[in-house]
Structure 1
Amino acid sequence: MLHIKIPFAFFAALIATAAVLIFGLIKNRNFEIREYDVKIEKPIAFPVKIVAASDFHLGYGSSRRKIENIVSAINAETPDAILIVGDLIDDNTEVLRHRNISEILKRLNAPMGVFAVFGNHEYIAGAKKSEEFYKASNIKLLKGEVAILENGLQIAGLDDFSNKKSKRENDIVKQLKPELPSLLLDHRPHNLQDKANLGFDIQISGHSHNGQMFPLNMITKFLFELDCGYKKINSCHSFVSSGISLWGPPFRIGTKNEMLVLNISNK
Structure 2
Amino acid sequence: MRIIFFIVFFGIFFAINYYVFIRGLRALPAESNVRYAYSVVFWILALAFIGGRFLENHLPSPVSEALIWGGSFWIAAAIYFLMAVIGLDFLRLINHFFPFLPSAVTENYPRAKQFTFMVITGIVALVLISGHVNSLRPKITSLTLSVPKKTARLQKLNIVVVSDVHMGTIVGRSRLDRIVEKINRMDADLVLLPGDIVDEDIRPVIRQNLGESLRNIKSRLGVYAVTGNHEYLGGVEAACAYLKEHNVVLLRDEWLKIADSIYLVGREDRFINRLGNTRRKSLSELMACVDKTYPVILMDHQPFDLEEAAAQSVDLYISGHTHAGQLWPFNYIVRQIYEVP
Class of the TM-score when normalised by the shorter of the 2 chains: 0.7 to 0.9
Deviation at 1:43, TM superposition (A): 1.8
8 A contact 2:325–2:333 mirrored in 1? yes
Amino acid at match of 1:27: N
Distance across 2 between alignment mates of 1:25 and 1:162: 28
Cα deviation 1:96-149 (Å, max 9, x = unaligned): 111111111100110101000001111111121011111122100001111222
Distance across 1 between alignment mates of 2:240 and 2:120: 46
Per the alignment, residue 236 of structure 2 pairs with 127
Say whether residues 1:222 and 2:331 are aligned partners: no
Distance across 2 between alignment mates of 1:66 and 1:213: 21
Per the alignment, residue 200 of structure 2 pairs with 91
Distance across 2 between alignment mates of 1:223 and 1:181: 28
Aligned length: 226
Bigger relative CO (Cα 8 Å, ≥ 6 apart): 1
Change over 3 Å in CA distance of 1:17–1:127 after alignment to 2: closer
Q: What secondary structure does 2:205 align onto?
A: helix
Amino acid at match of 2:259: E
Per the alignment, residue 165 of structure 2 pairs with 56
Aligned match of 1:139 in 248, 259, 275? 248
Say whether residues 1:24 and 2:127 are aligned partners: no
Distance across 2 between alignment mates of 1:154 and 1:134: 21
Per the alignment, residue 81 of structure 1 pairs with 190
Distance across 1 between alignment mates of 2:143 and 2:319: 15
Q: What secondary structure does 1:35 align onto?
A: coil
Distance across 1 between alignment mates of 2:182 and 2:126: 28
Per the alignment, residue 55 of structure 2 pairs with none
Say whether residues 1:160 and 2:274 are aligned partners: no
TM-score by length of 2: 0.63
Amino acid at match of 1:220: V
Deviation at 1:175, TM superposition (A): 2.2
Q: What secondary structure does 2:144 align onto?
A: strand
Distance across 2 between alignment mates of 1:210 and 1:178: 30
Say whether residues 1:113 and 2:227 are aligned partners: no
Per the alignment, residue 35 of structure 1 pairs with 142
Structure 1 moving runs of 4+ over 6 Å: none
Whose helix fraction is larger, Structure 1's or Structure 2's?
2
Distance across 2 between alignment mates of 1:33 and 1:27: 13
8 A contact 2:172–2:208 mirrored in 1? no
8 A contact 1:146–1:175 mirrored in 2? no
Change over 3 Å in CA distance of 1:183–1:19 after alignment to 2: same
Q: What secondary structure does 1:155 align onto?
A: strand
8 A contact 2:172–2:210 mirrored in 1? no
Amino acid at match of 2:122: I
Per the alignment, residue 198 of structure 1 pairs with 312
Q: Which has the larger radius of gyration?
A: 2
Per the alignment, residue 289 of structure 2 pairs with 175
Cα deviation 1:220-251 (Å, max 9, x = unaligned): 11111221xxxxxxxxxxxxxxxxxxxxxxxx
Amino acid at match of 1:25: H
Unaligned runs of 5+ in 1: 228-267
Q: What secondary structure does 1:84 align onto?
A: strand
Task: Map 1:186-265; keep pairs closer than 5 Å.
Answer: 186-227=300-341
Amino acid at match of 2:322: S
8 A contact 2:227–2:269 mirrored in 1? yes
Q: What secondary structure does 2:265 align onto?
A: strand
Distance across 2 between alignment mates of 1:17 and 1:162: 32
Cα deviation 1:149-173 (Å, max 9, x = unaligned): 2150111001111223222311111
8 A contact 1:158–1:168 mirrored in 2? no
Deviation at 1:16, TM superposition (A): 2.4
Deviation at 1:93, TM superposition (A): 0.4
Distance across 1 between alignment mates of 2:289 and 2:254: 8
Distance across 1 between alignment mates of 2:292 and 2:163: 27
Amino acid at match of 1:167: K
8 A contact 2:301–2:320 mirrored in 1? yes
Q: What secondary structure does 1:39 align onto?
A: coil
Q: What secondary structure does 1:20 align onto?
A: helix
Per the alignment, residue 66 of structure 1 pairs with 175
Unaligned runs of 5+ in 2: 1-30, 33-109, 274-278
Distance across 2 between alignment mates of 1:121 and 1:10: 35
What is the RMSD computed on CA atoms of the aligned residues? 1.8
TM-score by length of 1: 0.80
Q: What secondary structure does 2:310 align onto?
A: helix
Identity level (%) = 29
Per the alignment, residue 265 of structure 1 pairs with none
